[in-house]
Structure 1
Amino acid sequence: MKKIIVTIAALLIFSFGLSEGTFAASVYKVKSGDSLSKISKKYHVSISHLKQWNHLNSDMIKVNQLIKLYPSASSSSSSSQSSPKESFRYITVNSTAYTASCKGCSGVTSTGFNLLKHPNAKVISVDPKIIPLGSKVYVPGYGLAIAGDKGCAIKGKKIDLFISSRSKALQWGARTVTIKVYN
């Protein structure tokens, strides 16, 4: 019961308090028109940290350049001290999307969260043997989500993303993605 309450509280926080930009992907690919300033604002990190983490001597960046958005183990100890350390792991999974309004669907997750009442919630269905229910998970192209559901077809390294719009769920299709699971 306590785990369900914690999961529901986390879902509410994520659905109302966080957006996709709150937790960044681990690496950003520079696009035309980007600058360190724009990237730092988008991912809520300082320009000096971006320069330090990427060993940049100037503000110059190039299209298609990969920019680290967090301190790595090889970064200096001063940058590690300025950012809280989070424990996480990467998993490559097959992903699909679902809606809460399909025929026979109740709209309520296996943890008791009502997706129909919270259509903007970022919830994924997982195999709890691979990703524990209640885990924070960053999915590229979807954002930060909570592992708040499990489905009978979700076995092994598969996830199913909740998307309230049927057309957007179909647009997601089936993709292989590397997700970041926070412990």
Structure 2
Amino acid sequence: MKKLIISAITVTLLIFGFAGASSAASTTYKVQKGDTLYKIATKHKVTVNQIKSWNGLKSNLIKPNQVLKVTKPAAKNATKNAVKKTPAKKAPAKKKASYKTMTVKATAYTADCKGCSGITATGINLKKNRNAKVISVDPKQIPLGSKVYVEGYGMAIAGDTGGAIKKNRIDLHMPTKKKALNWGVRTVKIKVYQ
């Protein structure tokens, strides 16, 4: 008899225990006086629109003692909680510098001379910009406006032309006549960037 009573008590506790657990994870909520859809949605970690959709509500009007569904259906819950994986955006690929290498004869000039206007073929005023890195080129070989790296001179702009500047010959602008004479005539490698 003791075993029967203990078994009955155990079964009763289990039934009430599961009933309590079931009500704790309830999918419905009984509206209390002063409740709003916003308060209920916040409490159950859902949106107002979800509650309205699950309960077929056309407006935000609710009444005390009204019973509302407040838990998402399982399929939607799984979708909501799943981490949405979107492909990572790739950073734009850096353009590889495109250039051609040439070996040229390089002389030097200055805008500080008699009869020199100091204005290049592309309009650069070398008298106002004495330290400008500008080279004279044959536009058939090196397009005007190109960036050109000159060994021993640095990065320059192909911004001028000259009567004696043909084929693989360039003329480098120097700020003073002394620097132009010090450069002299050299054979150098250049990189013409496109």
- Which category of TM-score, normalised to the shorter sequence, fits these structures? 0.5 to 0.7
Radius of gyration: which is bigger? 2
Aligned to 1:96: 107
User: Larger relative contact order (C-alpha < 8 A, sep ≥ 6)?
Assistant: 1
- Whether the 8 Å contact between 2:112 and 2:176 is mirrored in structure 1 is no
Aligned to 2:184: 173
Aligned to 2:124: 113
Counterpart CA distance in 2 for 1:155 and 1:140 is 19
Unaligned runs of 5+ in 2: 1-91
Unaligned runs of 5+ in 1: 1-80
Aligned to 2:6: none
SS at match of 2:181: helix
Q: For residue 84 of structure 1, report the CA deviation from its aligned partner.
A: 4.1
TM-score scaled by length of structure 2: 0.51
Which amino acid is the alignment partner of residue 147 of structure 2? K
Aligned to 1:161: 172
TM-score scaled by length of structure 1: 0.54
Cα-to-partner distance string for 1:119-155 (whole Å, 9 max, x where unaligned):
1110000000000000000001100000000001101
Q: Cα RMSD between the aligned structures? A: 1.4
Q: How does 1:58-69 map to 2 (within 5 A)?
A: none
Identical amino acids, percent of aligned pairs: 65
Pair 1:85 & 2:96 matched? yes
Counterpart CA distance in 2 for 1:175 and 1:111 is 25
